[in-house]
Amino acid sequence: MTNPVRAFAPASVSNIACGFDILGFALQAENGQTGPGDVVTASYGEFPGGPESGGPVRIARITGDGGRLPLEPGRNTAAVAARALIEGEAPGATVDLQIEKRMPLESGLGSSAASAVAAVVAVDALLDLAVPEQALLGYALAGEVLASGGAHADNLAPSLLGGLVLVRSLDPEPDVIELPVPAGLACALVRPHAEVNTRESRARLERQLPLDRAVTQWGNAAALVSALYRSDLELLSRALVDVVAEPVRAQGVPGFHAAKAAAIEAGALGCSLSGSGPALFALCDGRDRGTEVAAAMADTIEAAAGVACDRLVSPLPAPGARVIAGEA
Amino acid sequence: MTNPVRAFAPASVSNIACGFDILGFALQAENGQTGPGDVVTASYGEFPGGPESGGPVRIARITGDGGRLPLEPGRNTAAVAARALIEGEAPGATVDLQIEKRMPLESGLGSSAASAVAAVVAVDALLDLAVPEQALLGYALAGEVLASGGAHADNLAPSLLGGLVLVRSLDPEPDVIELPVPAGLACALVRPHAEVNTRESRARLERQLPLDRAVTQWGNAAALVSALYRSDLELLSRALVDVVAEPVRAQGVPGFHAAKAAAIEAGALGCSLSGSGPALFALCDGRDRGTEVAAAMADTIEAAAGVACDRLVSPLPAPGARVIAGEA
C-alpha cells in the first residue's frame, strides 16, 4: 500500500446557464495540463479515532487558503467527506489529511467540491477501498452540504468524473449521466478578484419560481443536452440561457452584463455565471476563440468595474479527479 | 391545383411526464396505419372574405364532434389557425373548411392541436404556399391559444412533424428539435370515457413552483433527452417522473394511481397522464409489452372506477400531418 496518497480534484463550472443544480463540467489548463483544483494528501492516522477524539479524520495542514479554512474536522469540507467515506466503508480507520488549495475560494468554481472530491479519492486509494464512483459521490456530498447548505452535485460530479455531466437526481442516490462534448469546444473563464459566499448566494435565490419561467428553463436544459449529442453549436448557443439564477446573482457581480455582451460580441456561443459567481464562463468554438473571449470579458470587467481578473481557457472535456505522484 | 385538399393530423401525447409544455409525440394505430386524429378539408371559398363577412375562413361542416364544436370561425380552433396562415401568407384568399373529428375531444390527446395542424396543412397545400414547417407551426399556434388559453406547442409540434419532439421555446419563434426514438419503443394509451377541459386544467396548476421541485423536473427532462439519444431504456424509465402537473391533474382522473401502478407492474418503463388527461400513456419496450400494459391500465380503471376505457398501442415514432387522398 502507498502511504501517503495524494489526489487532485479539478475546479468546475456548475449550472452551465440553464442547468441550475444539475449540469457542470470540469476545468483544466489551456495546454491540457492540470488546472485549478485541490490536492489532498491522505496518510494513516495515528490516533484513536473515536467520538471523543473528534472522529476518524484530522486535518494536519492547509496551504493556499490564506489561513481561512477551518482545521476543525467537523467544519472542514474535506474532513466531513472523508469521515463519511470512512464511517461507511472502513469503520475504525483513521486518517490525516493535508489540503493544498490550488484554486481561489468562493469564486463559483467549485472549491468546496474539489476539496471533498480530492479527499474521498485520496482516502479511497489510501485504504484500498475501490468504492464505486457513484457511492464515492454520495460521500463527497456530505462535505458539499456542509459548505453550501444544499445537497447538489453539479460541481462534485464533474470534479470526480471529469467531462460534462448531468446529475438527474440525488434521491435515493446520485444518478449521474456523462454527456458528450462537441469536438473543439472550449471554456473561456474569467475570475474577478471578488468573492461570493455560496451559502448566502443560494439563500438569495427565489424559493418559488413562476411556472412559465420554469418551463423556459427546462426547455433550455433539454435543448442543451440535445445540442451536445448532436454537436449542434447553434442550438447550444440558443439553449445557453439562465432565467433562474443569473438574473439574481448577476446583481452581485460588477460589470457582468457588459462582460457578457463583450463575450457574445467576441463570438462566444453563450456566457453566464460559473456557479454562484463571481467567475464568468463562456463556451466557445475552439481555443483561439476562447482566448479572444476571455480577454474581452476580463478587459471589460477591469474597465467597467475596476476589478482585476484572472483568465483561463480550458479545452473540454477535462479529466476528473485522480491520484497523483509526488511527496506530500 | 387540387381543390379541395384533405389533410390528416394525428393525435399526440404531450408532456411525456417530465416535459410539461416542451415534449410530445405523435400517435398512430397499432398496425402503423392512421390512428386517431383530425381530417380537415379545405376548398376555395366563394365569399368576399373581408372583416364584415367574418374573415377569410368559413366552417362548412363539422362531423364526429357530436355537435359540440363551434362553427363560428372566431371560436373555432381550425378556423383561427387557417385565418392566421391566410392573413400572413395569402391575404385576400378565402377558404371553406370541413372538419372530421376522428378522435375524442378533451381527452388529453391534443384534439385542438390536431384541428389547427390539419387546417394549416390543408390550406397551405390548397393555396400552394409551401410555408416552412416552423412558420406553419406559428400559425397553428394561434388556434391552440384559443383552445387552451396558453401558448404551448407540445401537441402541435408532434402533430405537424411526427415523431417525438422538443419545443425549446416559442419566443421569438418556435424552436423545435426532433429527438431520436429508441427502436421498438411503443406507447400504450388508455382513454377513460371522461373529459377534462384543457383551459380549466391549466388554470388549476400552481402558478408558482418550489425551486427544488423545478430542479427535479429539469433534471428529469434533461435525462429523458439523454436517454433517447443513448437508447438507454433504464435511464428513460428513471426520468419518466412528473412532479409538476401529474400530482395536480391526477386528482381528476378516477383510478389513475391504481392504473399507473398496474402499468409499472405489467412492465411499463413509465406512466403518466397524456397532456391534461384523463387519457393515460405508458412507454413500453415493444408492442407486445404495450398491449399487456394497455390492458392492465384499462382493466384497472374499469374495475376501480367503473369507467369504460378505449385502448391503443402506438408504435413510435409515428408520422406527422400529411395531405391525404379521397373526396371530402
The mean per-residue pLDDT over the stretch A209-238 comes to: 97
Give the mean pLDDT of B171-180: 95
> What's chain A's average pLDDT?
93
Question: Does CATH number 3.30.230.10 belong to domain B5-179+318-324?
Answer: yes
Chain B residues whose CB is inside 8 A of the A210 CB are 207-209
Between A30-44, A58-72, B139-153, B304-318, the lowest mean confidence (pLDDT) is in: B139-153
Whether the CB-CB separation of A44 and A38 falls below 8 Å is answered with no
Q: Give mean pLDDT, residues B214-242.
A: 98
pLDDT given at position B22: 97
Give the model's pLDDT for residue A146: 84
Q: Does A220 touch chain B (CB under 8 A)?
A: yes
d(CA B150, nearest CA chain A) in Å: 10
CATH, range A5-180: 3.30.230.10
State pTM to two decimals.
0.95
pLDDT of B220 reads 98
| CB-based contact A26:A163 (threshold 8 Å) | yes
Q: What is the mean pLDDT of residues A80-100?
A: 96
In this predicted structure, the answer to whether residue B187 has a pLDDT above a threshold of 60 is yes
* Helix, strand, coil percentages in chain B from 3-state DSSP, rounded to 5: 40, 25, 35
Q: Identify the closest residue of chain A to B219 by CA–CA distance.
A: A168
Rounded CA-CA distance A275/A15 in Å is 6
Distance of alpha carbon A253 from alpha carbon B267, whole angstroms: 51
Residue B66 has pLDDT above 70, yes or no: yes
- Per-residue pLDDT at A209 exceeds 50: yes
pLDDT given for residue A124 in this prediction = 98
Cα separation, A278 vs A259, in Å, equals 12
Decide whether A5-180 matches A185-315 in CATH topology: no
Dist. CA B129–CA B194, nearest whole Å: 39
Cα gap A220→A237, rounded to integer Å: 10
| Single-letter amino acid code for the residue at A322 | R
Mean pLDDT score, A65-69:
91
Q: Which three cell numbers stand for residue B1?
A: 391545383
Confidence check: pLDDT of A223 > 70: yes
Mean pLDDT of chain B: 93
Share of chain B above pLDDT 70, in %: 97
Q: Would you place residue A198 in the very low, low, confident or very high pLDDT band (cuts 50, 70, 90)? A: low
Confidence of residue B315 (pLDDT cuts 50, 70, 90): very high
- B222 to chain A: nearest residue by CA? A222
Closest CA to B188 of B260, B262, B291, B45: B291
Which stretch of A29-38, A44-53, A57-66, B171-180 has the lowest confidence by average pLDDT?
A44-53
- The H-or-E segment that residue A305 falls in is helix A287-305
Q: Assess B148–A contact: CB distance below 8 Å, yes or no.
A: no
Please tell me the least confidently modeled range out of A133-142, A181-190, B196-205, B277-286: B196-205
CB contact A216 to B (< 8 Å): yes
Nearest partner of B56 among B75, B74, B77, B38, judged by Cα: B74
Q: Over 70: is that where the pLDDT of B327 sits?
A: no
pLDDT band at B328 (very low <50, low <70, confident <90, very high): very low
Q: Quote the ipTM score.
A: 0.94
Q: 460580441: which residue's cell?
A: A265
B126 touches chain A (CB under 8 A): no
Q: How confident is the model at residue B1 (pLDDT cuts 50, 70, 90)?
A: low
d(CA A235, CA A166): 18
Q: Measured between alpha carbons, how far is residue A131 from residues A86, A99, A112, A138, A242 in Å?
A: 11, 21, 21, 11, 35
Count contacts between A and B (CB, < 8 Å): 123
Instruction: Decide if A218 and B215 are in contact by the 8 Å CB cutoff.
Output: no
H-run or E-run covering A177: strand A175-179
pLDDT in tens, B231-256: 999 999 999 999 999 999 998 898 99
What does the domain layout of chain B look like in residue ranges?
5-179+318-324, 185-315
Q: Residue A37, by phi and psi: left (phi above 0), alpha (psi -120 to 50) or beta?
A: left
Per-residue pLDDT, A128: 96
Predicted pLDDT of residue B198: 67
Of chain A, the end-to-end C-alpha distance in Å amounts to: 16
What are the start-end ranges of the H helices in chain B?
77-89, 111-126, 133-148, 156-161, 198-204, 211-230, 233-239, 246-249, 256-265, 287-305
- pLDDT at site A328: 40
Q: How many CB atoms lie within 10 A of CB B158?
A: 35
Please answer whether residues A85 and A139 qualify as being in contact, where contact means their C-beta atoms are separated by less than 8 angstroms. Answer: yes
Q: Are residues B214 and A210, on separate chains, in Cβ contact within 8 Å?
A: no
Look up residue A201 and give its three cell numbers: 448566494
- A205: chain B residues, CB-CB within 8 Å: 211
CATH number of A185-315: 3.30.70.890, 3.90.1660.10, 3.90.1010.10, 3.50.50.60? Answer: 3.30.70.890
